[in-house]
Amino acid sequence: MHSGNSSKLLFTPGPLTTSDTVKGAMLRDLGSLDSDFLATVRSVRTRLLELGPYPPEEYECILMQGSGTYTVESVISSAVPRNGKLLVLVNGAYGRRIAQIARVHGIDYDVLEVTENVKLTPGIAAEYLARASGYTHVAVVHCETTSGILNQVEEIGRVVHGTGASYIVDAMSSFGAVPIDMASAHIDFLISSANKCIEGVPGFGFILANRRSLHACKGNARTLSLDIYDQWAEMEADGHFRFTPPIQTILAFEQALNELDEEGGVCGRGERYRKNHKALCRGMKALGFEIYLGEEDQSFIITSFRYPTIPAFNFPTFYERLWKLGYAIYPGKLSHESCFRIGSIGRITTAEIEALLAAIQRVLGEMGADWVSEKREVTTPQLG
- Taking each helix axis from N to C end, the angle separating 350-366 and 265-286, rounded to the nearest 10 degrees, works out to 20
Tell me what pLDDT residue 372 has: 52
Global model pTM greater than 0.75: yes
pLDDT in tens, 242-275: 999 999 999 999 999 999 999 999 999 999 999 9
Tell me what pLDDT residue 4 has: 46
Tell me what pLDDT residue 1 has: 38
Among 139, 173, 150, smallest CA distance to 330 is for 173
Count CB-CB contacts under 10 A for residue 346. 23
Among 261, 77, 86, 60, smallest CA distance to 163 is for 86
What residue segments make up the domains of the chain, in order of their start? 9-15+265-374, 25-262
Distances (CA, A) of 21 to 13, 97, 255, 290: 21, 34, 7, 37
9-15+265-374 and 25-262, same CATH topology: no
Q: In what order do the strands lie in the sheet with 166-170?
A: 59-65, 204-210, 189-193, 166-170, 137-141, 85-90, 108-113
C-alpha 365: how far from its chain's center? 33
Q: Which residues of the chain register pLDDT less than 50?
A: 1-4, 373-384
Distances (CA, A) of 345 to 109, 271, 285: 33, 11, 19
> Helical H runs in 196-290?
211-215, 228-238, 247-262, 265-286
Enter the CATH code of domain 25-262.
Answer: 3.40.640.10
Tell me what pLDDT residue 370 has: 60
Tell me what pLDDT residue 2 has: 42
Tell me what pLDDT residue 143 has: 97
Q: Is domain 9-15+265-374 given the CATH code 3.30.70.1060 in the classification?
A: no
Tell me what pLDDT residue 380 has: 43
**Phi then psi for 319, rounded to 5 degrees?**
-60, -50
